[in-house]
Structure 1
Amino acid sequence: MTAISDIGPFYHGTKVDLQIGDLLTAGFNSNFKPEIIMNHIYFTALVNGAGLAAELAKGNGNPRVYIVEQTGDFENDPNVTDKKFPGNPTRSYRSRKALKKIFGEITDWVRLTEEELKDWHERLANIKGEIIN
């Protein structure tokens, strides 16, 4: 993996109820193409980016944003970096390793309105590209 100079802090958005000390691991179904088992765990250095991921995540739980600790090598997320946004302005990353020990939760991130959430779900339903896994 390429060396990244971003030192965080890092965040992970999900609808899963996690506890401090839990490790996040790859190997779960994609939120965007459920037939794909993801080889990576995804995270960002932008709290509202993690909030967006939490809002769009599959599941019935409440959207949650966790502060996570990087415990292994990671790379720019090729699903957004340079493919959709030149460089990495979303500060989005991924890793194959079990990583990112939970050490807190953020509760004051910017939530989507119902209309914004509906628009995002419609956009995602129409995505034709492949997930780089």
Structure 2
Amino acid sequence: MNDDKERGNVLAKACPSRQILEHLTSRWGVFVLIVLRDGTLRFSEIRRRIEGISERMLTLTLQNLQADGMVVRTDYHTVPPKVDYQLSEYGAVAAAKIYDLVDWLEINLDEILDKTKQS
């Protein structure tokens, strides 16, 4: 969120912004960002809220989003283990933008489906 830095170019093959965008907009990345908009959640809570995601894919998605600075993982080093996930500042901004698209889709779903039937 710093205007002094050079801007990325997501269309350039070697630009790191491309990989971050792929993580944010991946099948599961979108869903993780949406559920974490509600606040801090544990792994099992995230998994229950996202129907169809496997434990492995949730782990990988959370690791990618954490490495990209979008998700913060807090390990309390307890037995049994307690680990929480929440959006970082950048993650919250990205989640809001993605949520706007998802919200638009859900609001307009009937019209979109009607148009696809006409094609």
Q: What is the TM-score with the length of structure 2 in the denominator?
A: 0.28
Larger of the two Rg values belongs to structure: 2
Higher relative CO (Cα under 8 Å, sequence separation at least 6) belongs to: 1
The structure carrying a bigger helix percent of its residues is 2
